[in-house]
Structure 1
Amino acid sequence: MKLVNTRWLTAACTIILAALSTAFAVAPASADPTADPSAEPRHSFAEYQGIPISIYEYGPSADQAPTIVTTGGWPGDSSIFEVASRKLAAKYHVVRYDHRGAGLSGHDTNDELNSLANLAGEFGAVIDKTAPGHAVHTFTIGWGSYITAEYAHRYPGRIASLSSIGAPSLDLEHYAVLESGRDPAQFVAMMPELSYFAAMTTPALPEFWAGSGVDLAAFNAAIALIGDPPIHLTNADLVSGVSIYRANMPTRLATAPEYDYLAVPVLQVFQSNADGPYLITGLAKHTNNLWLTGIQGSHADFGRTSWPLIDAELDKAIAATEHQ
């Protein structure tokens, strides 16, 4: 079933893109008393399909403490998790990486190479390099969550807990949107966001605006207007991000999701008023152990508005699964 017909949106794409941007105790810091969360991260690269993947590690090693992995959403690279990574490094081995098309990682505009399957394989290369032989925990947002959910679906058992700000899976959003669409009020509420998704998949025009610098200015202006901290973003990131949208949105969200159930020891969703509830409607029916926690703030300022709550819930998820 196709949810959105994208062709009619081409003419309106400019407006949409500019306007809609926006138990057992876990051994924490005591596992390595010399770990300094304020220290500069250890930078390295993994490689997947010939693409360099930029990695930053904080705190103790994977042999000394549980590993928690994060990556960016879109727009923006993983630096949105820089402050959180430093705080979490007091207790955990933290791996922050930029998936392809963001930050210092390689950029590719070949839609076929930007599939979720390849992005999940890339995640596997990162954890094989930084936490070999260990199950890991994840804390992500947007496309970062879609990538980790894809990996959990394809390679069960390696992700011990999956924590997401907002919807955790592109495929499961398909079923949430179908269920939400039965409610006229929800149907109307979700149309702007679905229109944005559709506009991002139209041929050529999104790349034109992303490459022109207009989109970058629009994103920065929107972020400043709502008072969120700046997001590190380049035109190259925007262009690659469009390719990732086009490679996955029309099928995995709209017409052909690959799975309708995601089994992980804990699937934790931090949901704020900035996240459309229609993207997680009925989610509990599509996973085995859903933890849903309400938070304040938007995707860019969760660390300022809700960090103590998020921090405590991440601790609980990791403690509940670390020794299973």
Structure 2
Amino acid sequence: MTVTRRTVSSAGIELAVFEQGDPERPTVLLVHGYPDTHRVWDEVAEELAADHHVVRYDVRGAGESGVPADRAGYRLELLARDLFAVAEAVSPDRPVHVVAHDWGSLQSWEAVTEPGAERRLASYTTMSGPCLDHMGHWIRHRLRRPTPRHLRQLLVQGVHSWYITAFHLPYLAPGVWKFGLARAWPRVLRDLEKVSPRPGHPQATLRQDAVRGIELYRANMRPALRHPRERPTRVPVQLVTLRRDRYVSPFLSEGLERWVPDLTRRELNATHWSGLLDQAPAVASLVREFTTRIERGEPPAAAGGPLVVVTGAGSGIGRATALAFAEQRATVVVCDLDLEAARRTAELVTLLGGAGHAYRVDVSDGPAMDAFAQTVATAHGVPDVLVNNAGIGHSGTFLQTTEKEWQRVLDVNLWGVIHGCRAFGALMAERGQGGHIVNLASAAAYLPSKVLAAYATSKAAVLMLSDCLRAELADHGIGVSAICPGIVNTNITRTTTFSGLDSAEQAAKQARVSKMYARRGFPPEKVAAEIVKAVRTGRPVVPVTVEAKAARLLGRLSPALLRRAARINAG
């Protein structure tokens, strides 16, 4: 696609501006960081130009733009003035959507938090660059409340920001760039950032760009962090967290809602530079989804929370899980064989502040699950979290359990999980933004019992499937957790089947087991809380109840004892 060049004057500096795409389309303004030029956006710009007017410019002191006479010429207020000047030149009658990375994000925050910025800036997508004023308040809050967690955050970010101190030392940083680092930069990107080499990057002007750009740090870091200002904004902001960023920690954005009422949080499984250079379609997709929502005047989906899919959510642990994510203002797509029950769960999700959507799906039907995944992706997007919860209970020894009963248990408890992981896992991997899959196993997965032959086998398979899948999806930034509840008070006991019993005996046995589980009194809400926590922490295996934890510990200490206990006629 043709790229045209123009020059825009701002505060005595001539800025080189590059455009592509249809000027009648919404304008996306891409702002590069240090030590890059507009060329770092080449692949992303090409993707977005299909349906946007894409504008990039070399910031002052970089690439083909003019160079300030002194350090004061790199102050944030001048950089923000440059952004507004370019926006006014390329889109005088319509607000622009700003997308920025690294130091481009820092200077764009300066513009976004200017009073009245919402009149010129339609939205802001930021990657790997906090507002320095917000960061100053973040540091002060942690120093005033020096909890172990706050002190750890300060220490970790301090280690990640080692280079900032180096940039303030006389002669050191410029000398390093001049006498070796510029030449080695392609290897740094390849070996540390996992960026594939490509023609034209790094740019031919890297050495002088890097040396001049050091003044960005020296002119702005210490003043902003020492005396942070109150900098709220009314511009809708999309914060894209790069999971493998070596320089910007995810917890730097904690409390950002204080400054940004309309905040959408997204994640990308990328290093500091690989998102732009190796995952351009994923970045473009995030930007496109956000700008489309803004252009249509739609409210943020579930106030920017995650998109979660929960199977078997008509009751029990599935419903409790859906409601737990609703409290995080998530969009929750629920499915169940009982559509009315699923709809009730979706209504409760909405009442709790999320956005609920219900579907009828048989998880044991592979083609139906594939169709469900495509429907979700089309109507709501690729989920951030999948909870494979749907399951059934069955009790019977191996010799009592018929082939038909085996088939029914495995179809739902194992194949239902396989279908969910395959259908949604492929979408997550293709999207390239990470995610998390939660599979409901059971304490029966590692607690053998002669009267739970089919059920325990199905859950043990789910546990091993989760381990295998976790290894496969790790490179995609997708976590996998297996949840192992014990005795939980849900209606699964009222639908559990028993081998070798007639209908009257079945009903009596179901009533007795349900009463026992009710006396135990462990609510599904506690399991749901552990599921939400597992998604947040990435914990691989989560025994939930006391008996589940005890059985897992005993299985490690004395497997022979568990095998002997399996002979007991439980229930």
Measured against the shorter chain, the TM-score band is: 0.7 to 0.9
Whether 1:263 and 2:231 are equivalent positions in the alignment is: no
Whether 1:119 and 2:79 are equivalent positions in the alignment is: yes
* Residue 292 (structure 1) aligns with: 265
Shift of 1:285: 2.0
Q: Distance in 2 between matches of 1:139 and 1:129?
A: 17
* Residue 43 (structure 1) aligns with: 5
* Residue 174 (structure 1) aligns with: 136
Check 1:198–1:168 CA distance in 2 against 1; reply closer, same or farther (3 A cut): same
Give the match's secondary structure for 2:271: coil
Query: Any residues of structure 2 matched to 1:67-86 within 5 Å, and which?
Result: 67-86=27-46
Contact 1:231 1:300 in 2 (8 A): no
Contact 1:70 1:81 in 2 (8 A): yes
Check 1:186–1:71 CA distance in 2 against 1; reply closer, same or farther (3 A cut): same
Shift of 1:259: 2.9
Q: Distance in 2 between matches of 1:312 and 1:191?
A: 32
Shift of 1:176: 2.9
Give the match's secondary structure for 2:284: helix
Normalising by structure 1, report the TM-score.
0.80
* Residue 294 (structure 2) aligns with: 321
Contact 1:180 1:278 in 2 (8 A): no
Report the structure number with the largest CA radius of gyration.
2
More helix, by proportion: 2
Contact 2:123 2:291 in 1 (8 A): yes
* Residue 147 (structure 1) aligns with: 107
Whether 1:272 and 2:226 are equivalent positions in the alignment is: no
Q: Distance in 2 between matches of 1:163 and 1:171?
A: 18
Check 1:178–1:167 CA distance in 2 against 1; reply closer, same or farther (3 A cut): farther
- Of 155, 162, 179, the residue aligned with 1:195 is 162
The answer to which of 98-107 and 298-307 deviates more is 298-307
Check 1:150–1:257 CA distance in 2 against 1; reply closer, same or farther (3 A cut): same
Between the two structures, name the one with larger relative contact order (CA 8 Å, sep ≥ 6): 1
Shift of 1:50: 2.5
Contact 1:269 1:293 in 2 (8 A): yes
Q: Distance in 2 between matches of 1:56 and 1:219?
A: 25
Q: Distance in 2 between matches of 1:95 and 1:320?
A: 20
* Residue 213 (structure 2) aligns with: 241
Whether 1:205 and 2:167 are equivalent positions in the alignment is: no
The answer to which of 177-186 and 51-60 deviates more is 177-186
* Residue 7 (structure 1) aligns with: none
Give the match's secondary structure for 1:213: helix
Q: Distance in 2 between matches of 1:192 and 1:144?
A: 22
Q: Distance in 2 between matches of 1:240 and 1:125?
A: 22
Check 1:219–1:127 CA distance in 2 against 1; reply closer, same or farther (3 A cut): same
Give the match's secondary structure for 2:113: helix
- Of 138, 154, 160, the residue aligned with 2:122 is 160
Check 1:49–1:167 CA distance in 2 against 1; reply closer, same or farther (3 A cut): closer
Check 1:242–1:111 CA distance in 2 against 1; reply closer, same or farther (3 A cut): same
Q: Distance in 1 between matches of 2:261 and 2:25?
A: 26
Shift of 1:72: 1.0
Q: Percent identity?
A: 24
Contact 1:76 1:237 in 2 (8 A): yes
User: Runs of 5+ in structure 1 lacking a partner?
Assistant: 1-38
Q: Distance in 2 between matches of 1:306 and 1:289?
A: 26
Whether 1:137 and 2:97 are equivalent positions in the alignment is: yes
Contact 2:242 2:271 in 1 (8 A): yes
Shift of 1:217: 3.1
Give the match's secondary structure for 2:56: strand
User: Runs of 5+ in structure 2 lacking a partner?
Assistant: 298-571
* Residue 231 (structure 1) aligns with: 202
Shift of 1:200: 1.4
Q: Distance in 2 between matches of 1:174 and 1:215?
A: 30
Corresponding letter in the other structure for 2:170 = P
Shift of 1:65: 0.9
Shift of 1:84: 0.6
Contact 1:109 1:239 in 2 (8 A): no
